[in-house]
Structure 1
Amino acid sequence: MTTSHDDLLPGTRRALLHRIAVAQSEGRTPSLVATVVRGGKAVWTGARTSVPGHGPDENVQYRIGSITKTFTAVLVLRLRDEGLLDLGDPLEKHVPDTGAGEVTIAQLLAHTGGLAAETPAPWWERTSGSLRPELGDVLGEQPFRHPVGRRHHYSNPGYTLLGALVEEVRGAPWEDVLRREILEPLGLHRTSPRPQAPHAGGWAVHPWADAMMPEPAEDLGRMAPAGQLWSTTGDLARFAVFLATGDDRVLSAESVREMRTPAAPPEPGEPAAGASYGFGLQIVHRDGLSLVGHSGSLPGFLAGLVISVDEDVAAVVLSNCTSGPAVFTVAGDLVRIVAEAEPRIPDPWRPMAEVDGSVMELAGPWYWGTQAFGLRLPAGGGLVLGPLSGAGRGARFRANDDGTWTGLDGYYAGEVLRPVRRPDGSLSHLDLGSFVFTRQPYDQEAPVPGGVDSEGWRGIP
């Protein structure tokens, strides 16, 4: 069974349907539902099921496991943006006496705190959260597996600590804060900590026989911020739009961009080449695409949310089996299918609405030593620096109130670009984190570090 919209070409829709059909059949999952987003709205929904004549749609809930972590990360970034904490704060400053208080909030968000991947036994995903009522029960007597800050090591208890942080600072239960600050503003009415009909049941499929067994659906208690939520492809499609563009009612575009920025390398030995982790988001480079999102799994369920910001395409895939289709990969494939079959059409070029002469003066060629760079002023604001040929460091910059500019990405992220003027007010050079950029290679009239040979350029006699 499949339903789809008319925003995609027939060939694209068939390719999407074929991909999820293969995933459901070869992955041997009772059901699988997927939604594709383009241009800020759902443009295709498809489903495959083992039940004849019946299939899930974008309103059927599935458990989404660790995609819950992305929601928790948004709540933490909101606290930072309100000035209630700093990401460099040790957890101890806000949640004392955990036994893991030396870890910073940023390290917890990026899984670089050195904490164990799981709680002490028994397996937390398949037992009641009532067995772990306190943070000490989640962390155990030896919470660390690695030195703090030295490596990326995925930690479910780490996100439980972030949930406790949200509760401590807000003075309210995690799920109440989640509903008030994310679910209601974004209209995610089919996302909830506990299942709400219609919802799928979770199943284990026998590895050597086409037979099934129901999986228990446990309330995770303290571990809820790491994996409790149930949602639909419809709601997660809207959440994907938010993660790509931001929403000032929840989190600014700048802050969601920060979430999508690599903050940790991949865990050594993990199979995903070119992968890293931001704040509550996985980052993968595959098939020429830069993808962000998160996977999720709990007994009986698999979930994947993948976004290509550059292509303005996202996909959500949900299924109800413990192991089977690689839904994160499938979601990435759906994004690739749309991006390749129907490439994003650029917005029409438009000039600036207003031209600032003092900023316009910065545009054009600049030289760092002998390497040529171009500084452009896009209509959307800011500055863009990049090499004119070959490899070189580039970055986007945003304006500061004092006439300087701050780098947003690349090598110059966080670095300050300062236009330097002569006593008569004319532009002399640019100072970028101590690098001097001049209008001519090694301009003798600019304060180039180390000085410029007075005899200037020469050949070989």
Structure 2
Amino acid sequence: MTTPQDELLPATRRALLHRIAVAQTEGRAPSLAAAVVRDGQALWHGARSSVDGHGPDEHVQYRIGSITKTFTAVLVLRLRDEGLLDLGDPLEKHLPGTGAGEVTVAQLLAHTGGLAAESPAPWWERTPGSLRPDLGDVLGGQPFRHPVGRRHHYSNPGYTVLGSLVEKLRGAPWEDVLRQEVLEPLGLKRTSGRPTAPHAGGWAVHPWADVMLTEPAEDLGRMAPAGQLWSTTADLARFAAFLTHGDDTVLSARTVREMRAPAAPAEAADLADGVAYGLGLQIQHRDGRLLVGHSGSLPGFLANLTISAEDDVAVVVLANCTSGPLLGAVAAGLVRIVAEAEPRIPEPWRPLPDVDESVLDLTGPWYWGTQGFALRLTRDSDISLEPLSGPGRRSHFRANDDGTWTGLEGYYAGEVLRAVQRPDGTVSHLDLGSFVFTRQPYDEEAPVPGGVDPEGWRGIR
């Protein structure tokens, strides 16, 4: 007897409920709601305690804080994919006069622009956005805290600037663009800039007594692209599925993979935890898994979205308290429960529907000097290059229109691989960023830099 793939086993469901129940009780959260996604579908929703006297379900809104940044990053990458900007463009090219124009779009996305973590006082999360009507009020007179590009330094003003960039290039308010280009295409009907009933109220829980205090819910104004949104576990489950698999109406699978790849080094304090940052997504190695997503917090609310792409499991956890349960740990625990109790069933192998014979001829062993590598044609018609055995440099490569390929990861990220032909049209060697890969170790018929000893291979005499 088998369990349908769109259901979880009863034991798994109970383990998930137990995990969030412990988190809500020990974390002293007024309410906590969660969802689990697999194969692009929400398979489980759970919640503890109450909102307005009723148990919260998957349609109750919570404020999601900095998960908003991931939505903003999606809008920016749409602009890039449409050719309206390049990630290497300095801000000044598109949004002049900010005082931070030397920072590139990519650096803003990855928090490596050196900008301050917060806007000038008063604290923007607990004061009206009307106090900061212009970018100058957000960035202040001295926007930089570090040299541009030197280190990862999380910056809320940086994502405010990205929101303004979206507005400039689209000619419409950030929230309107978000609704038209992301929320509506993905069916996120309960995600909005302002709460709509039913929604949770935000609370501060006293650290030494079981009593609560209402937190203000400010409209963040210009800072909205950094943390304004309200959403539900149902909507964020759909968003997590999109960040795992892509959706060509919004961003391709290739682009969301790019978002999930490290784009900034870990801060020194995070090195032990293996934390890094991609393009609008946080990255962490935890419990032997690579987890990507984003956390969020505003007064009265905590939020977390976590994805294990390898396990095809995503988790959303929301709570309405300023501090308390460690939602990152809760989300990682929920991922682990599903991944270990019900390991992913791989897709059945199927042959490619079509193949380019010239690319097929390139597959097989190649040698960089004496080290053997295997070039493989992958299912998405891209290629991969990896050592025949043991560790070493490896990468997938994306096909370009001119017959070359561009590396997507590791040492070869951004480097161009091309097959160099002889006058008769046969392939002499592969050139990868000036490295020559030959069919035989130091092939005499290929132009190996430095040449090949004419005496050939020999033993000790």
Q: TM-score, normalised by structure 1?
A: 0.96
What's the offset of the Cα at 1:272? Answer: 6.6
1:377/1:66 CA distance change after superposition, 3 Å: same
Alpha-carbon distance in 2 for matches of 1:312, 1:211: 39
Contact 1:111/1:264 (8 A) holds in 2: yes
Q: Determine the structure 2 residue equivalent to 1:439.
A: 439
Structure 2 unmatched runs, 5+: none
Alpha-carbon distance in 1 for matches of 2:137, 2:79: 26
Contact 2:51/2:200 (8 A) holds in 1: no
Q: Determine the structure 1 residue equivalent to 2:391.
A: 391
Alpha-carbon distance in 1 for matches of 2:266, 2:26: 28
Structure 1 range deviating more: 79-88 or 366-375: 79-88
1:118/1:355 CA distance change after superposition, 3 Å: closer
Letter in 2 for 1:388: L
Asked if 1:344 is matched to 2:341, the reply is: no
Structure 1 range deviating more: 77-86 or 231-240: 77-86
Structure 1 range deviating more: 226-235 or 343-352: 343-352
Alpha-carbon distance in 2 for matches of 1:94, 1:178: 19
After TM superposition, the structure 1 = structure 2 runs for residues 168-183 of structure 1, keeping only pairs within 5 Å, are 168-183=168-183
Q: Determine the structure 2 residue equivalent to 1:23.
A: 23
Structure 1 unmatched runs, 5+: none
Q: Determine the structure 1 residue equivalent to 2:327.
A: 327
1:89/1:421 CA distance change after superposition, 3 Å: closer
Q: Determine the structure 2 residue equivalent to 1:234.
A: 234
Contact 1:307/1:315 (8 A) holds in 2: yes
Q: Determine the structure 1 residue equivalent to 2:254.
A: 254
1:52/1:127 CA distance change after superposition, 3 Å: closer
Letter in 2 for 1:291: L
Asked if 1:147 is matched to 2:163, the reply is: no
1:197/1:416 CA distance change after superposition, 3 Å: same
Q: Determine the structure 1 residue equivalent to 2:414.
A: 414
After TM superposition, the structure 1 = structure 2 runs for residues 353-368 of structure 1, keeping only pairs within 5 Å, are 353-368=353-368
Structure 1 range deviating more: 256-265 or 193-202: 256-265
Q: Determine the structure 2 residue equivalent to 1:115.
A: 115
Q: Determine the structure 1 residue equivalent to 2:307.
A: 307
1:429/1:342 CA distance change after superposition, 3 Å: same
| Matched position secondary structure for 2:167 | helix
Alpha-carbon distance in 1 for matches of 2:272, 2:281: 14
Contact 1:66/1:294 (8 A) holds in 2: yes
Alpha-carbon distance in 1 for matches of 2:335, 2:47: 16
1:50/1:185 CA distance change after superposition, 3 Å: closer
What's the offset of the Cα at 1:450? Answer: 0.9
Alpha-carbon distance in 1 for matches of 2:444, 2:150: 45
Letter in 2 for 1:394: R
Post-superposition CA distance 1:314-338 (Å, at most 9, x none)? 0000000000111122112211211
Contact 1:353/1:379 (8 A) holds in 2: no
Contact 1:64/1:229 (8 A) holds in 2: yes
Q: Determine the structure 2 residue equivalent to 1:222.
A: 222
Post-superposition CA distance 1:53-105 (Å, at most 9, x none)? 83111100000000000111111111122222222222122222222222111
Asked if 1:48 is matched to 2:42, the reply is: no
Structure 1 range deviating more: 166-175 or 318-327: 166-175
1:6/1:377 CA distance change after superposition, 3 Å: closer
What's the offset of the Cα at 1:223? Answer: 0.7
Contact 2:65/2:303 (8 A) holds in 1: yes
Letter in 2 for 1:347: E
Q: Determine the structure 1 residue equivalent to 2:58.
A: 58
Alpha-carbon distance in 2 for matches of 1:408, 1:431: 16
What's the offset of the Cα at 1:50? Answer: 5.7
Percent identity of paired positions between Structure 1 and Structure 2: 79
| Matched position secondary structure for 2:367 | strand
Structure 1 range deviating more: 224-233 or 49-58: 49-58
1:162/1:53 CA distance change after superposition, 3 Å: closer
Alpha-carbon distance in 1 for matches of 2:271, 2:46: 28
Q: Determine the structure 2 residue equivalent to 1:93.
A: 93
Contact 1:35/1:46 (8 A) holds in 2: yes
Q: Determine the structure 2 residue equivalent to 1:38.
A: 38
Q: Determine the structure 1 residue equivalent to 2:453.
A: 453
Letter in 1 for 2:253: A
After TM superposition, the structure 1 = structure 2 runs for residues 75-86 of structure 1, keeping only pairs within 5 Å, are 75-86=75-86
| Matched position secondary structure for 1:269 | helix
Alpha-carbon distance in 2 for matches of 1:245, 1:233: 18
1:379/1:122 CA distance change after superposition, 3 Å: closer
Q: Determine the structure 2 residue equivalent to 1:281.
A: 281
Letter in 2 for 1:337: I
Post-superposition CA distance 1:421-461 (Å, at most 9, x none)? 33333332211111111111111221111111111112223
What's the offset of the Cα at 1:307? Answer: 0.8
Contact 1:308/1:335 (8 A) holds in 2: yes
